Structure 1
Amino acid sequence: MRWDVFAWAAIALLLFAAEAMAPGAFMLWLGFAAVVVFAIVLLFSGIPVLAQAAIFVVLSFVSIQVYRRWFRKREKPSDQPALNRRTAALVGRVVPLERAIVDGYGRVQIADAFWEVTGPQLPAGAQVRVTGADGMTLRVEAA
């Protein structure tokens, strides 16, 4: 077997394995592009390595665009869009301040976690409403 045929088969398998280890539907489409290059190289010998790489890049781009335009639009929207975005899930909650907001910064406790907050000067114990987040810092206002 020729080394280039073997290399493209190995690249395709590695990309599929990477998709299985970290699913996200990105490596899958690169794997499909590698399979097509594998088939082209298997059927037509003598294609330069640079041309093989160029074919792979073009097919990768095309396959990802096919995914984005065709398959991604058909995905069902989530019934819990904030599931893995914890700060977004906290927006709208009303909680008491655990530490007063002084110079714009304070702290609240939500469940078993403490969160840094930014907002107007308020004493400890005041009820605040979470209005948004900047990274892991919640923005609050008086409730």
Structure 2
Amino acid sequence: MRWEVVAWGALALLLFAAEALAPGAFMLWIGIGAAAVFALVAVFADIPVLWQVVAFVVLSVLSIQCYRRWGKPRARQSDAPLLNRRAEQLVGRVVPLQQAIVGGQGRVSIDDASWQVSGPELPAGTLVRVVAVQGSALVVEAAG
């Protein structure tokens, strides 16, 4: 067995193993380029090493481009877009003020959690509607 055939086969296996250990669908496509050169070198014995490397680069780039064009999954719309955005899930809720809004700042209690709120000056106990989220604070207005 010629050393070039063994080298390209080993490189392809190494790249496939790297993809398996750190998945990201990138080493796989370079490994496919190496496997293609392995097949070429196994069939055609007189390809110079420089042309083998050129073929490897070209085939790797082509396989990556094929993946990006046809194989890459399209971004799907989530059925729960607010899943990990807890504060934004509260927009529209009406709750009583736990602490009066003084100087634009107050607190409400929603589902066993205390939230800082900002809005117009209102006394404790007033029903407020969450209208937006600003950073980690809820923006409220008087409900009604």
Q: Do they fold alike, i.e. is TM over 0.5?
A: yes
- State how many pairs are aligned: 129
Cα distance, 1:90 vs. partner? 1.0
- Report the 3-state secondary structure (helix = DSSP H, G, I; strand = E; otherwise coil) of the residue aligned with 1:125: coil
In the TM superposition, what are the counterparts of 1:1-143 in structure 2 within 5 Å? 1-2=6-7, 5-19=9-23, 27-28=24-25, 30=26, 32-45=28-41, 46=49, 47-48=52-53, 52=56, 56=60, 59-60=63-64, 62-66=66-70, 71-72=73-74, 75=76, 78=79, 80-143=80-143
Judge conservation of contact 2:36–2:59 (CA < 8 Å) in 1. no
Judge conservation of contact 1:9–1:34 (CA < 8 Å) in 2. no
Cα distance, 1:52 vs. partner? 4.8
TM-score by length of 2: 0.64
- Report the 3-state secondary structure (helix = DSSP H, G, I; strand = E; otherwise coil) of the residue aligned with 1:63: helix
Distance 1:62 1:134 in 2: 42
Distance 1:107 1:53 in 2: 60
TM-score by length of 1: 0.64
Distance 1:103 1:6 in 2: 69
Query: CA RMSD for the aligned pairs?
Result: 3.2
Q: Which runs of 5+ in 1 are unaligned?
A: 20-26
Evaluate the alpha carbon distance shift between residue 38 and residue 127 of structure 1 in structure 2; reply closer, same or farther with a 3 A threshold: farther
**Deviation beyond 6 Å, 4+ runs, structure 1:** none
Evaluate the alpha carbon distance shift between residue 61 and residue 136 of structure 1 in structure 2; reply closer, same or farther with a 3 A threshold: farther
Judge conservation of contact 2:15–2:28 (CA < 8 Å) in 1. no
Amino acid at match of 2:70: V
The alignment-based identity, stated in percent, is: 36
Cα distance, 1:10 vs. partner? 3.7
Cα distance, 1:65 vs. partner? 4.4
Cα distance, 1:53 vs. partner? 6.2
Larger-Rg structure:
2
Distance 2:14 2:91 in 1: 47
Distance 1:38 1:31 in 2: 10
Distance 1:61 1:106 in 2: 54
Of 96-105 and 33-42, deviating more is 33-42
